[in-house]
């Protein structure tokens, strides 16, 4: 007995033992020859009814599937229908074939029975659907020997007839349940005269070997009586099959206490007859692979040999067996018409897809329209209203209640009529019903009512406006999501330009919609409906589309940002800014910020998306540039639209981090590889997994498909030192390439697919022949990093990545901070360039044009280089953390970057190359003077710029010095500036003309900090060492402050010529800068001291450390007053409130705490986390803090600026910067300018 059947017996054993009387049940089982007389005697010997039932069940458990079926049927016959219902789902599937089978799997007995019964033969092209066939068999078994009805129902062309006929090709089913035979009659749409002819023919067929020939019945009643006698006397225990029943009155002619199976589009057709009833719903869609299999059989080709149009054809057929078969039969006759029939389907030209099979209707549109014609006139109008429903959308009942202005019950009654006739589908999951049309039905309706579609769309919009008036749906309403997703679609369909513009250009609508569904769908609508929105001017639509495209990564997640504040950051000419300003002026009690110098804003990227909840390791374009696949640390594969970021697929693909993903050349598949050692192949459109490869023994670092369509080859490389080549049509590795001595990090096919390049931690790049897997060449990259006195083996070089030129003549390799370009034939170095001294290269990609190369860097940026001139073309900032990947689109017009910050940014190559590659460093100084904001900043590491922050104009720029500038400062009177260089030199210049007044070679390492004293005569500086220099630049006198044992972190001037310094050695010191003596020495922390702050009254200071603590100290007693311990990460910054009562501290986890100075108590935890897995709201480290003058507000910096209510600890506002991690805050005395 099947395990499932056995489990159902055991699961329901208690109920069975309690209720059944065994004697009559055993009689039936003995007559079925599944129970012996000896076993019956064993049951009768038990003392009580319950014990007898228990013994019977024990005996059944030792037997086969036939015993289960016999017991189930006995329960039905003896009146135990409730108990039989408990066992119904456990009825074992009937295995096909008993006795000798022919080539097609049928025994001669089955062939004879089906032939005599008029059962249709298998179609010329037949693809089995075993689950549905088994379901029909099981329902037939449920009939037992009782009269009853099995209804196989579904929409036109779903395969009801073929599946029913296939279910009857089963020896055991026919022999055990229908020994009287089967009798098939194709009914169809009939009037009474036509039905009488069908009945006369059936009676004649059943009487064919009768000794007495009878006249045909003269009317339906006579035919019914004769059929009843024939079935009762001549054909007992036989099955009558009525194919294609349309009307319930037809069934009354066959309601004669026999066993009947019917096929119909109308589920409710058996409501008019009596008896047991069972249903099998034939779903409307075949799987994609089944569809391809049918086409391949029709055209006599392997699936792998089918042209590219085959996949598109199957998708356009919407899984309908009828349509696929019609197309297949046509292609068999006209094998060159793949493109033609695809266009007919895409253009909804159903009339041109005409009969080429035994199907009853001349064309596809006729097969669908005949169902609609059976509706009464009122119902036809309601059904026509469904023409404007969007595809693949389940519509809540309430939407149709609003459309038809009816109560829920009235609407459900109408829709149930459509459902019963297979004209509509109903999803009954959840609190309410949701309805949807099959794609082909919707296509048919759309085509049929094409001239009325605009009015139908207009009607649904007007009904929405009438119902909601000036309000908008709220999330608690069941129809809410429908209107937010499709109201614009209906307005566009109605060509309601004004209403659509009012909706799409409303910040209220944008805020409400993005909070519910994210920004991607809105971006898609701006693109989709641009022709309507742009009828007057495209500027406004472009403003809103750009606003969403560049802020989508913020709008798509909790906590939801203030959309008004985001709008205020847009250019002043933008309609988004104009609306946001009006909103801000109307709002009372809300804190908003105006960006003063936003004219300098340059958005070089086209779209920012945040599809993952953790670091994004890899992303790539599909060949048609329409889709992007991405993967990362959250173990998911995402596929989304490149235009809008709209998610198409989300797959929990692996058990560990996914390190790489790749589209196949035709875009049909996506490969993923993971730290879980597995490689998986996915259908890029359905998300269905095609195969899993598990031959690697360590994490798989990279996967890449070959470049040509038609052959699916995949290269993978792993920490196990191997590169493997897979053929997707096989389940095993085609080639294993062995030769590397350490982890292989990256691999790529050459443009012509003849070679594979691989990069390894062993310091080499190897080239392999793809066909044979043989190693052709090896390049020792580590040779290019060794010093003169080093042996190659002493140098460790991790080769990260490589990229082929378009013609395959050159290969680009990255390792450490170098780009190296090699000639493939000679393996000779053509050129090399050092990208950065402060960052490592994570990834590289050749632009298809061959001149440009993009490199991703660990310090959050991407650079574009001209490989011929070896010059940097562009510098792209925007990411907040390491950039792991950069990839060009196939045409080179776009490139994308993915990062640890969870975002993917899409950039326009031309736009980036035209922009300036200038970078203002985060080391700058600010002076607030007479209402002006004066900023001294380092420009491109080469120049100093004095900038008016109010106007964003450059007042002064210095000439480039001989060494890069590392730090700078302004004097309070704005007469002088000073800067330190990476060479260790310090210079003082005059701001009026930029003239250098004094210069000193102060250090051997890069200068880190410099600051003027209040009298502007002395400059204090520190570098990457333990000494602070106090330089009276006017007198050329220098005092050295020596005492720290490790490098100085920073310093701060105190009153009376005192200086506070803190160091990586964990100490804080107070110095007399006049004498150079250390007056106080505080051993503050076990780890590095990261920041210090001095209380307003000068009596205390605070220190924060990498040891995750902060401390408050007394200058006078040199003792610690409070140790503040609740931080869970490095405490990065601190500040005292002006009222001398509070201390704020911020850490590397993005958390802020406010403490009571007097008691050391924690008052507020000011950095709530999002609901998304505890993600910090501060975007990384908290780098600086500042209180307002009244101590009621706190501003913090990090990934963005954030303002806090000190009294409550709640966030007041967030200001998102343009993709920049903020290092420090400079606040005006009145706290109005930052």
Distances (CA, A) of 206 to 313, 447, 990: 44, 46, 116
Instruction: Return the pLDDT at 837.
Output: 66
User: Nearest-CA neighbor of 534 among 567, 565, 505, 566?
Assistant: 505
Given a contact cutoff of 8 angstroms between Cβ atoms, the answer to whether 1211 and 1204 are in contact is yes
User: Nearest-CA neighbor of 821 among 866, 867, 784?
Assistant: 867
Instruction: Return the pLDDT at 362.
Output: 47
The dihedral formed by the CA atoms of 685, 691, 694 and 696, expressed in degrees to the nearest 10: -60
User: Nearest-CA neighbor of 571 among 539, 543, 538?
Assistant: 543
- The DSSP call for residue 406 is -
Can you tell me the distance from the alpha carbon of 1167 to that of 1161, in angstroms, rounded to the nearest whole number? 17
Can you tell me the distance from the alpha carbon of 10 to that of 16, in angstroms, rounded to the nearest whole number? 10
| H or E stretch at 66 | helix 65-77
Instruction: Respond yes or no on whether the N-terminal peptide bond of residue 559 is cis (omega within 30° of 0).
Output: yes
Can you tell me the distance from the alpha carbon of 355 to that of 352, in angstroms, rounded to the nearest whole number? 9
Given a contact cutoff of 8 angstroms between Cβ atoms, the answer to whether 41 and 23 are in contact is no
> What DSSP string runs through 591-629?
-----TTGGG----EEEEE---SS-EEEEEE-TTSSEEE
Given a contact cutoff of 8 angstroms between Cβ atoms, the answer to whether 688 and 682 are in contact is yes
In 10 A of CB 501, how many CB atoms? 19
Q: What are the two backbone dihedrals, phi and then psi, of residue 9, each rounded to the nearest 5 degrees?
A: -65, -45
Distances (CA, A) of 1064 to 1046, 1067, 1148: 6, 8, 17
Q: Where are the beta strands (DSSP E) in 333-410?
A: 395-396
> What DSSP string runs through 156-183?
TTSSHHHHHHHHT--HHHHHHH-TT-EE
pLDDT profile of the chain (1234 residues), mean per 10: 82 84 79 79 86 89 83 77 79 55 63 78 73 89 85 82 87 87 84 84 73 73 85 85 86 86 86 87 77 81 83 77 73 81 71 47 57 79 89 87 91 84 74 77 82 92 89 84 90 91 90 85 88 86 85 74 85 87 85 78 77 91 93 94 90 94 92 94 91 93 89 92 90 88 93 93 92 91 68 70 90 88 91 80 86 85 86 82 90 90 88 67 80 85 85 86 89 91 92 90 91 92 92 91 92 91 93 91 91 93 93 92 91 94 91 93 75 48 91 88 89 78 84 81
Torsion over CA: 1216, 1218, 1221, 1223 (sign): negative
User: Nearest-CA neighbor of 321 among 163, 448, 435?
Assistant: 163
SS3 for 1015?
Answer: coil
Can you tell me the distance from the alpha carbon of 1062 to that of 1043, in angstroms, rounded to the nearest whole number? 11
Instruction: List alpha helices for 494-538, DSSP H.
Output: 497-504, 507-517, 520-528, 530-533
Sheet arrangement for strand 1110-1114: 1089-1094, 1100-1105, 1110-1114, 1120-1124
Distances (CA, A) of 798 to 97, 697, 755, 867: 63, 21, 22, 22
Can you tell me the distance from the alpha carbon of 541 to that of 575, in angstroms, rounded to the nearest whole number? 9
Residue 663 structure tokens: 């589209």
Given a contact cutoff of 8 angstroms between Cβ atoms, the answer to whether 766 and 752 are in contact is no
3-state secondary structure 890-949: CCCCEEEEEECCCCEEEEEHHHHHHCCCCCEEEEEEEEEECCEEEEEEEECCCEEEEEEC
| H or E stretch at 22 | helix 22-31
Can you tell me the distance from the alpha carbon of 738 to that of 722, in angstroms, rounded to the nearest whole number? 5
| H or E stretch at 990 | strand 985-990
Instruction: Return the pLDDT at 640.
Output: 92
Burial annotation 764-774 (CB, 10 A radius, 16+ → b, else e): bbbbbebeebe
Can you tell me the distance from the alpha carbon of 1089 to that of 1105, in angstroms, rounded to the nearest whole number? 4
Given a contact cutoff of 8 angstroms between Cβ atoms, the answer to whether 161 and 244 are in contact is yes
As a whole number of angstroms, the longest Cα–Cα distance in the chain is 139
Q: Of all residues in the chain, what percent are helix, strand and coil, respectively (each to 5)?
A: 30, 30, 40
Torsion over CA: 794, 799, 805, 806 (sign): positive
* Look-up of token digits 């969870």: 902
Instruction: Return the pLDDT at 1097.
Output: 92
Can you tell me the distance from the alpha carbon of 824 to that of 828, in angstroms, rounded to the nearest whole number? 8
Can you tell me the distance from the alpha carbon of 1211 to that of 1166, in angstroms, rounded to the nearest whole number? 7
Q: How many CA atoms lie within 13 A of 84 on its CB side?
A: 19
Given a contact cutoff of 8 angstroms between Cβ atoms, the answer to whether 188 and 403 are in contact is no
Can you tell me the distance from the alpha carbon of 367 to that of 353, in angstroms, rounded to the nearest whole number? 11
In this structure, which long-range contacts are made by residues 725-734, counting pairs with CB atoms below 8 Å and at least 24 apart in sequence? 725/756, 725/770, 725/773, 726/679, 726/693, 728/664, 728/669, 728/681, 728/690, 728/691, 729/304, 731/691, 731/693, 732/695, 733/693, 733/695
What are the residues facing 968 on neighbouring strands? 979
* Look-up of token digits 């049909």: 668
- Collect all residues with Cβ–Cβ distance below 8 Å to 393 and sequence separation of at least 6: 436, 482, 485, 486
* Look-up of token digits 């019956």: 40
> What DSSP string runs through 321-352?
HHHHHHHHHHHHH-TT-HHHHHHHHHTT-GGG
């Amino acid at each position: 007995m099947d395990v499932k059947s056995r489990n159902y017996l055991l699961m329901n054993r208690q109920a069975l033992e309690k209720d059944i009387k065994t004697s009559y049940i055993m009689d039936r089982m003995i007559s079925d020859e599944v129970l012996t007389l000896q076993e019956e005697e064993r049951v009768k010997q038990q003392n009580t009814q319950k014990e007898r039932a228990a013994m019977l069940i024990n005996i059944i458990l030792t037997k086969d599937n036939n015993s289960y079926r016999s017991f189930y049927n006995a329960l039905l016959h003896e009146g135990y229908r409730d108990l039989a219902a408990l066992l119904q789902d456990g009825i074992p599937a009937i295995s096909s074939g008993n006795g000798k089978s022919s080539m097609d799997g049928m025994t001669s007995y089955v062939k004879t029975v089906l032939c005599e019964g008029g059962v249709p033969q298998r179609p010329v092209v037949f693809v089995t659907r075993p689950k549905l066939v088994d379901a029909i068999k099981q329902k037939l078994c449920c009939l037992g020997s009782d009269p009853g009805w099995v209804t196989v129902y579904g929409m036109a062309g779903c395969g009801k007839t073929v599946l029913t006929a296939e279910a009857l090709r089963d020896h055991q089913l026919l022999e055990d349940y229908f020994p009287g035979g089967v009798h098939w009659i194709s009914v169809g749409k009939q009037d009474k005269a036509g039905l009488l002819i069908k009945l006369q023919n059936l009676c004649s067929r059943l009487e064919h070997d009768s000794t007495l020939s009878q006249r045909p019945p003269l009317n339906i009643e006579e035919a019914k009586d004769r059929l009843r006698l024939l079935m009762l006397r001549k054909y007992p225990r036989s099955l009558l099959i009525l194919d294609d029943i349309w009307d319930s009155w037809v069934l009354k002619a066959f309601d004669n206490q026999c066993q009947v199976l019917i096929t119909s589009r109308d589920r409710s057709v058996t409501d008019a007859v009596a008896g047991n009833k069972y249903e099998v719903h034939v779903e409307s869609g075949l799987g994609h692979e089944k569809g391809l299999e049918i086409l391949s059989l029709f055209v006599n080709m392997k699936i792998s040999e089918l042209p590219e149009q085959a996949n598109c054809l199957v998708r356009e057929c919407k899984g309908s067996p009828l349509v696929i078969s019609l197309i297949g039969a046509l292609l068999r006759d006209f094998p060159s018409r793949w493109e033609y029939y695809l266009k007919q389907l895409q253009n909804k030209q159903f009339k041109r897809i005409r009969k080429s099979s035994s199907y009853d209707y001349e064309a596809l549109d006729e097969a669908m329209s005949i169902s609609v014609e059976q509706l009464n006139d009122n119902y036809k109008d309601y059904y026509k209203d469904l023409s404007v429903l969007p595809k693949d959308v389940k519509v809540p009942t309430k939407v149709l209640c609003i459309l038809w202005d009816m109560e829920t019950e009235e609407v459900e009654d109408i829709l149930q009529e459509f459902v019963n006739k297979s004209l509509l589908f109903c999803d009954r999951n959840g609190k309410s019903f949701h309805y949807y049309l099959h794609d082909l039905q919707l296509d048919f309706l759309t085509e049929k009512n094409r001239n009325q579609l605009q009015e139908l769309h207009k009607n649904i919009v007007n009904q929405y406006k009438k119902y909601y008036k000036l309000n908008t749906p709220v999330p608690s309403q069941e129809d809410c999501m429908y209107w937010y997703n499709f109201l614009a679609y209906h307005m566009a369909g109605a060509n309601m330009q004004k209403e659509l513009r009012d909706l799409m250009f409303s910040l209220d609508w944008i805020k409400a919609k993005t909070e519910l569904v994210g920004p991607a769908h809105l971006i898609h609508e701006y693109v989709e409906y641009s022709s309507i929105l742009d009828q007057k001017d495209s500027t406004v639509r472009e403003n809103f589309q750009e606003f969403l495209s560049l802020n989508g990564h913020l709008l798509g997640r909790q906590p939801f940002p203030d959309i008004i504040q985001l709008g205020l950051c847009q250019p002043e000419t933008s309609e988004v800014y104009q609306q946001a300003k009006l909103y801000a002026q109307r709002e009372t009690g809300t804190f908003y910020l105006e960006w003063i110098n936003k004219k300098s804003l340059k958005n070089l990227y086209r779209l920012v998306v945040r599809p993952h909840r953790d670091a994004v390791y890899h992303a790539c374009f599909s060949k048609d540039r329409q889709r992007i696949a991405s993967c990362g640390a959250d173990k998911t594969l995402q596929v989304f639209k490149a235009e809008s970021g709209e998610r198409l697929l989300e797959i929990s693909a692996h058990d560990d981090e996914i390190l790489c993903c790749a589209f196949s050349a035709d875009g049909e598949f996506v490969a993923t590889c993971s730290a879980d050692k597995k490689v998986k192949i996915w259908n890029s459109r359905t998300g269905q997994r095609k195969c899993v490869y598990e031959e690697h023994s360590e994490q798989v670092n990279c996967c890449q498909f070959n470049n040509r369509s038609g052959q699916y080859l995949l290269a993978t490389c792993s920490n196990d030192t191997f590169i493997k080549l897979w053929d997707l049509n096989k389940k095993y590795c085609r080639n294993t390439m062995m030769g590397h001595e350490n982890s292989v990090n990256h691999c790529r096919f050459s443009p012509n697919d003849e070679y594979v390049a691989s990069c390894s931690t062993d310091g080499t790049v190897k080239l392999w022949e793809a066909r044979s897997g043989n190693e052709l060449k090896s390049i020792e990259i580590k040779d290019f990093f060794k010093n003169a006195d080093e042996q190659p083996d002493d140098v460790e070089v991790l080769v990260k990545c490589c990229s082929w030129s378009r013609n395959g003549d050159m290969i680009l390799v990255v390792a450490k901070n170098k780009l190296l370009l090699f000639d493939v034939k000679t393996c000779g170095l053509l050129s090399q360039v050092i990208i950065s001294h402060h960052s490592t290269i994570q990834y590289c990609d050749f632009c298809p044009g061959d001149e440009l190369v993009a490199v991703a860097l660990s310090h959050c940026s991407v650079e574009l280089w001209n490989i011929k001139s070896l010059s940097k073309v562009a510098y792209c900032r925007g990411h907040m953390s390491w950039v792991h990947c950069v990839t060009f689109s196939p045409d080179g017009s776009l490139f994308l970057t993915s990062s640890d910050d969870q975002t993917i940014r899409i950039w326009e190559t031309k736009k980036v190359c035209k922009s300036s590659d200038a970078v203002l460093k985060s080391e700058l100084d600010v002076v607030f003077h007479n209402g002006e904001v004066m900023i001294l900043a380092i420009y491109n590491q080469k120049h100093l710029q004095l900038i008016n922050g109010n106007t964003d104009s450059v007042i002064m720029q210095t000439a480039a010095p001989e060494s890069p500038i590392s730090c700078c400062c302004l004097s309070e009177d704005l007469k002088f500036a000073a800067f330190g260089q990476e060479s260790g030199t310090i210079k003082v210049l005059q701001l009026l003309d930029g003239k250098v007044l004094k210069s000193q070679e102060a250090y051997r390492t890069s200068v880190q900090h410099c600051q003027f004293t209040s009298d502007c005569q002395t400059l204090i500086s520190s570098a990457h060492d333990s000494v602070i220099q106090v330089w009276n630049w006017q007198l050329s006198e220098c005092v050295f402050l020596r005492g720290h044992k490790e490098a100085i972190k920073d310093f701060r001037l105190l009153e009376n010529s005192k200086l506070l310094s803190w160091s990586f050695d964990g100490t804080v010191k107070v110095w007399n800068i006049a004498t150079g003596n250390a007056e106080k020495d505080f051993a503050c922390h076990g780890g590095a001291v990261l920041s210090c702050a001095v209380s307003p009254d000068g009596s205390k200071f605070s220190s924060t450390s990498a040891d995750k603590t902060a401390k408050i100290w007394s200058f006078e007693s040199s003792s610690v007053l409070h140790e503040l311990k609740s931080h869970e990460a490095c405490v990065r910054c601190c500040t005292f409130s002006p009222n001398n009562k509070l201390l704020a501290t911020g850490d590397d986890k993005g958390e802020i705490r406010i403490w009571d100075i007097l008691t050391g108590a924690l008052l507020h935890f000011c950095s709530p986390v999002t609901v998304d897995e505890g993600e910090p709201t501060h975007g990384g480290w908290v780098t600086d803090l500042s209180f307002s003058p009244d101590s009621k507000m706190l501003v913090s910096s990090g990934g963005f600026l954030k303002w806090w209510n000190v009294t409550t600890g709640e966030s007041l506002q967030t200001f998102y910067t343009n993709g920049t991690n903020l290092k420090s805050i400079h606040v005006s005395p009145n706290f109005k300018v930052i």
